[in-house]
Structure formats: C-alpha cells, structure tokens
Amino acid sequence: MAVEKPRLHLILLAGGKGLRADKDELAPKQFRTTRRGMLFTCALQNFLNVRPQAVTVTVAVPDAWRGEASAALTPLLEPLGLPWLMAPAGPTRTASTGNAVEALAGSDHAPADDGLIAVHDGARPFASDALLDSLCVATLVSGSSVPAVPVADTIIRQETDGQATYLDRTCLMAVQTPQVFRWDIFRDAHRWARQTGGRFTDDGSLMAARGYPPVIVPGDPRNWKITTDADWKRVEELLG
C-alpha cells in the first residue's frame, strides 16, 4: 500500500514595516507592485507547484493592508481551489508567525500532527520550488530544516570594550527562508514562545531554543531578501 505524503501548509509573512526600504514610500516593500503583482505574492507564486502539494496558505498581514492583500490573493489562489486565510501581523516576527499558527490551528484545514509547515518571508521573491522541495524531504526525516549559504564577508563581533573579535567564517552561514517544520513540534514551539514572551529572528532559532534544532539544507545565493532601496531597484529590473 502506498504511503500518503504529509500535506504542506504555507505560511507567508508580510507583516514587516521594512523601514530600510520604505523611507520615502507609503507602502511597505512587501506590498509594492511589480509586473508580476505585489511583491509578497511573487514570493508565493514560486511555491504553488511544489511536491508535496501545498494545500493551504496563511498570510500574516497588518490590519491596514488586509483589503489590498485579499484583493491580490483572491485571483491567484481561488482558481487553484487552494484554501487560504489571513492572520494579523504582530509586533515581532515571532508574534506574526504565532498568530498565523493559531489562525491555521483554529481553521477547518488544521494540519495533522505530521503535516509540514513552510514559513517564508514576503520579501524573498526568488526562492525556488526546488529549494522548498529539498527542505520538505529533509524535514520528513528530521522534523525541522532551514536553508543556509556560506558567508562571503569577514565577520567580526564587537566586544564590550569596543574591540573586534574576528570569527572563523568557515563555520558561519547565512540563514534563509523558506524554513520547513513538522506541525506538532512547530505549534508547540510557538505556543511556548507566546507563553514565555520569547522573541526570535527566525523560526529556526525558535525551534532550536525549544529543543528541536533544525538540520541545514544548502540554500541558494539567488534567494536574497529585499531590504534596502537599492535592493528594490534591482528587484524591479529582475521582475520586470
């Protein structure tokens, strides 16, 4: 008898203020429009054909942008018959993801314990479905995985006395999204963070702090995050 693959649920984070890229713009960067649509939907479009097949989409958005987000998601997801919902963005990244977790857990499409959850930044429009697929394969074995790429620059740590400590970059990597986790331990980690007030820069670090350290999957240097105005100019050219 064939074993059914776990179902994949996508969580897209579109709640950041993006102050570094939005200095002179009314719209946060994830809601700026490209020729392929709003930036956060470009990040989503790459994943709609991944295997195992995505079965739900949950997007964390600021309340002020719910209408615009809904208008952008409806023509993209409804023709596919893909259920989707929105969750309120929180004051931190951890809170935003936690709100998405609770929205999904309370929906008619709540994942099974062994279901897979992929969390992705709305400001990373170039992640591939092949990367997500490799993360899903790793998570089926490990329960938790993140993509990372080697650090090219020399990295230093500033000490309290102002001196620099040089770090061995051969041991350092830059973490990306999407990140993929098994639902039961992912839900547990976020409920623990909510109870303790924990704040983390990504979900992999939260999982590690809770005792579910992720394995590392080779990332993609092309999967860069739009952070500055220079990044936005570059993405306009690439997506144009």
Query: Confidence band (pLDDT; 50, 70, 90) for 6?
Result: confident
Question: What's the pLDDT tens digit per position in 136-180?
Answer: 999 999 999 999 999 989 999 999 998 999 999 999 999 999 999
Count of domains forming the chain: 1
Q: Is residue 196 helix, strand or coil? A: helix
Q: Residue 178: is the preceding peptide bond cis (ω within 30°)?
A: yes
Mean pLDDT of 75-83: 90
Task: Give pLDDT, residue 22.
Answer: 45
Q: In this model, does residue 118 exceed pLDDT 80?
A: yes
Q: In this model, does residue 234 exceed pLDDT 50?
A: yes
The number of residues making up the chain comes to 240
- The parent domain of residue 55 ranges over 8-239
Sign of CA dihedral 85, 69, 133, 169: negative
Task: Give pLDDT, residue 23.
Answer: 43
Task: Give pLDDT, residue 165.
Answer: 95
Question: Across all residues in the chain, what is the average pLDDT?
Answer: 90
Task: Give pLDDT, residue 21.
Answer: 43
- Whether 100 maps to a domain, the answer reads yes
- Whether 132 maps to a domain, the answer reads yes
What is the percent of the chain with per-residue pLDDT over 70, rounded to a whole number? 92
Query: Confidence band (pLDDT; 50, 70, 90) for 15?
Result: confident
- Whether 2 maps to a domain, the answer reads no
Alpha helices in the chain (DSSP H): 39-45, 66-77, 93-105, 129-142, 183-196, 203-210, 229-239
- Whether 93 maps to a domain, the answer reads yes
Q: In this model, does residue 196 exceed pLDDT 80?
A: yes
Mean pLDDT of 24-36: 77
Residue recorded with tokens 């170039």: 126
- Whether 1 maps to a domain, the answer reads no
- Whether 29 maps to a domain, the answer reads yes
The crossing angle, in degrees rounded to 10, of helices 93-105 and 183-196 is 130
- Whether 3 maps to a domain, the answer reads no
Tell me, what CATH number does 202's domain have?
Answer: 3.90.550.10
Task: Give pLDDT, residue 2.
Answer: 42
